[in-house]
Amino acid sequence: MCVPHLRSGRKENRVGKGPVIPRILIAGVGNVLLEDDGFGPHAIARLEAEYELGAEVELVDIGTPGLDFVDYLVGRDTLIILDAVSSGGQPGEILTFDRQQLREFMPNMRLSAHQPCLQETLFAAETADVCPPDVLLVGVVGESFEVSTALGAEVERAMPIALELIAELLRQRRVLARKRLQPLPCNPWWSVSDVGLPA
């Protein structure tokens, strides 16, 4: 079941000549209709609601990625991919991979259901010389991938830790990432009333 979905808060530049391209892209990958597979989009929604981020950061809910994802990489310095991981640890465990590790592990290890698309995207971006020099994957090992718009207990428990890790990665790159004193309402598009699936 594929649910392509691109959602972004990209702003127009101050002189009206097209969109400003923030140098850091955080891309949430996953199918929100398949329980833990939706970690990436859930994380994007939670980051928007719970953290104040600098203007250098763009959050995008990629959904199930296709090659059009390459277009989102143009002009970036950093790409942080958020995805559910299907192997490599215990449910709820947080794993990180940098660009070199992804090159080494992706061809030989089944990390994610979206791995083929991500591999093709990064290969196409490198071929076109638009791949950001700084690429990271932050993954949480999933437990259940049944039909549901809710995350499983282990992934839900790991979510605040994963969000703070992402915030720290931004701070290391000298970008504002501050937890809001009062979170904004979190009303993602896949809420039960919208898609009619069990939570």
Which CATH number covers residue 152?
3.40.50.1450
Lowest mean per-residue pLDDT among 41-45, 62-66, 166-170? 62-66
Is pLDDT at 27 greater than 70 in this prediction? yes
- Give percent of the chain with pLDDT exceeding 90: 62
Is pLDDT at 2 greater than 60 in this prediction? no
Distance of CA 126 to the CA centre of its chain: 20
DSSP track, 145-176: -SSBSSPPHHHHHHHHHHHHHHHHHHHHTT--
Distances (CA, A) of 93 to 142, 155, 158, 195: 8, 8, 7, 29
pLDDT at 18: 59
Host domain of residue 142 = 19-175
Asked whether residue 147 is domain-assigned, the answer is yes
Asked whether residue 70 is domain-assigned, the answer is yes
Asked whether residue 42 is domain-assigned, the answer is yes
Which long-range contacts link 68-71 to residues 24+ away (Cβ below 8 Å)? Answer: 68/6, 69/27, 69/117, 69/121, 70/121, 70/124, 70/125, 70/128, 70/130
115-125: b or e for each residue (b if 16 or more CB lie within 10 Å)? bebbeebbeeb
pLDDT at 110: 59
Asked whether residue 11 is domain-assigned, the answer is no
Asked whether residue 37 is domain-assigned, the answer is yes
Q: How many domains does the chain have?
A: 1
User: Which residues, in sequence order, are CB contacts of 98 under 8 Å at separation 6+?
Assistant: 135, 136
Asked whether residue 161 is domain-assigned, the answer is yes
Distances (CA, A) of 199 to 34, 108, 141, 147: 10, 34, 20, 9
Confidence of residue 5 (pLDDT cuts 50, 70, 90): very low
Asked whether residue 57 is domain-assigned, the answer is yes
Please state the rounded mean pLDDT for residues 35-62.
96
Confidence of residue 66 (pLDDT cuts 50, 70, 90): confident
Is pLDDT at 102 greater than 90 in this prediction? no
- Residue 127 is which amino acid? T
Task: In whole angstroms, give the CA distance from residue 91 to residue 15.
Answer: 48
- Residue 102 is which amino acid? L
Q: What is the pLDDT of residues 118-167, one digit of tens each?
A: 888 888 898 999 999 999 999 999 999 999 999 999 999 999 999 999 99
pLDDT at 129: 94
Q: Greater confidence, 13 or 52?
A: 52
Asked whether residue 188 is domain-assigned, the answer is no
pLDDT at 121: 85
